């Protein structure tokens, strides 16, 4: 079988995965990564591996310059924020990514944020190492996750993985999604709700949707105003999807919990009020930092193998999905 000509932007970091890809592809790796380098090197290749840092370089102009291109493979969990994926799909090019390698790690990280917040584990730890002798009775009785009402904003790969994991703890699951129909939600065992309903009716609200120009500050003062007392808001998506100033004011004004892995500006300012507020759990954008995330190269090798065999890769994006995601 004739091998696929593949251009990799940068080295394929995993030697075993590289060997598996080489079973199907003649690989060329280039170190110079720029739009001009792509315009120079990509014509004549049938496939390209694109790291996260180079996704914005795969423009319509670059795609037009590579008439033999049949496959764009992103080493990141998604493509739609940068790669001109919709344009590529409409030209018949397959677009794949390694989102499967992030699903479980990010879902478990979200679960850890929720449990740590509900049980106030970080508060007790901070008190103990700060010299408080025995803060056993400092806080009111904590809560467990069992049968809590949970809403997830976003029903992509990450949101779906969170819902599947949380189903082990509660059946009271809701989802906010523009592209999910009510019938599909029922089939998935969740209830489709509006954004305002998610904040008003649930004890735990998790933001896991994709970020684009339409979702900037989608969560603001109006949503925080209707949160229940002692409700928890978790953000593992993108900081710019939340009006951070409104969130801080809400946390000052009412008894809510925050668990945040992302912020409107990163790094988080050293003088941010979030750093000193009670009932706030902060981590520095590390939800996808597990060892398992490095399995993305094996994930990519699997998908390229399917493509080479004439099968449809599991992560292959469709035009309908790309349009829906751009609106989510």
Model confidence, pTM: 0.85
Name the pLDDT band for 327 (thresholds 50, 70, 90): very low
CATH fit for domain 4-97+292-327, picks 3.40.50.1100, 3.40.1190.20, 1.10.4080.10, 3.40.50.720: 3.40.50.720
Q: What is the pLDDT of residue 319?
A: 81
As given in the structure block, the two tokens for residue 231 are 């409700």
Does the pLDDT value for residue 222 go beyond 50? yes
Within 8 A by CB and 6+ apart from 75, the residues are: 49, 50, 51, 52, 97, 98, 296, 297, 300
Between CA 5 and CA 206 the distance in angstroms is: 42
Residues of the chain with CATH 3.40.50.720: 4-97+292-327, 103-282
Within 8 A by CB and 6+ apart from 87, the residues are: 60, 63
For residue 240, the tally of other CB atoms under 10 A from its CB is: 19
Beta bridge partners of 72: 48, 95
As given in the structure block, the two tokens for residue 185 are 């939600």
Q: What is the pLDDT of residue 281?
A: 98
Between CA 102 and CA 304 the distance in angstroms is: 18
Residue 200 and residue 193 in contact, taking contact as beta carbons nearer than 8 Å: no
Please check whether the domain covering 103-282 is classified as CATH 3.40.50.720.
yes
Using the 8-state DSSP alphabet, how is residue 204 labeled? E
pLDDT tens, residue by residue, 274-325 = 999 999 999 999 998 888 777 889 999 999 999 999 999 998 988 876 665 5
Residue 325 and residue 210 in contact, taking contact as beta carbons nearer than 8 Å: yes
């Amino acid at each position: 079988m004739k091998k696929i000509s593949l251009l990799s932007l940068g080295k394929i970091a995993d030697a075993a995965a590289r060997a598996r890809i080489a079973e199907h592809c003649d690989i060329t790796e280039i170190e110079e990564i720029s739009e001009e380098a792509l315009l120079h090197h990509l014509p004549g290749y049938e496939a390209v591996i694109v790291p996260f840092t180079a996704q914005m370089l795969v423009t319509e102009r670059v795609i037009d310059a590579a008439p033999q291109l049949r496959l764009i493979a992103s080493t990141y969990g998604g493509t739609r924020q940068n790669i001109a994926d919709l344009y590529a799909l409409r030209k018949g090019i397959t677009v794949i990514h390694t989102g499967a390698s992030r699903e479980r790690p990010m879902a478990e990280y979200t679960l850890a944020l929720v449990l740590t917040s509900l049980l106030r584990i970080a508060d007790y730890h901070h008190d103990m190492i700060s010299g408080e002798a025995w803060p056993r009775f400092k806080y009111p009785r904590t809560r467990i996750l069992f049968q809590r009402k949970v809403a997830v904003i976003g029903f992509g790969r990450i949101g779906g993985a969170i819902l599947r994991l949380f189903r082990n703890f509660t059946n009271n699951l809701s989802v906010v999604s523009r592209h999910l129909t009510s019938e599909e939600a029922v089939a998935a065992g969740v209830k489709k709700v509006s954004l305002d309903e998610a904040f008003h009716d649930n004890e735990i609200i998790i933001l896991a949707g994709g970020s684009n120009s339409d979702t900037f500050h989608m969560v603001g003062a109006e949503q925080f105003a209707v949160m229940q007392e002692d409700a928890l808001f978790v953000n593992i998506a993108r900081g710019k999807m939340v009006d951070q100033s409104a969130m801080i004011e809400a946390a000052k004004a009412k008894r809510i919990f925050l668990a945040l892995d992302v912020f409107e500006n990163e790094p988080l300012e050293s003088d941010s009020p979030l750093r000193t507020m009670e009932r706030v759990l902060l981590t520095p954008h590390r939800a996808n930092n597990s060892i398992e995330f490095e399995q993305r190269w094996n994930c990519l090798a699997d998908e390229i193998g399917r493509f080479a065999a004439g099968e449809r890769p599991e992560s292959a994006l469709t035009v309908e999905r790309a349009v829906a995601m751009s609106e989510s």
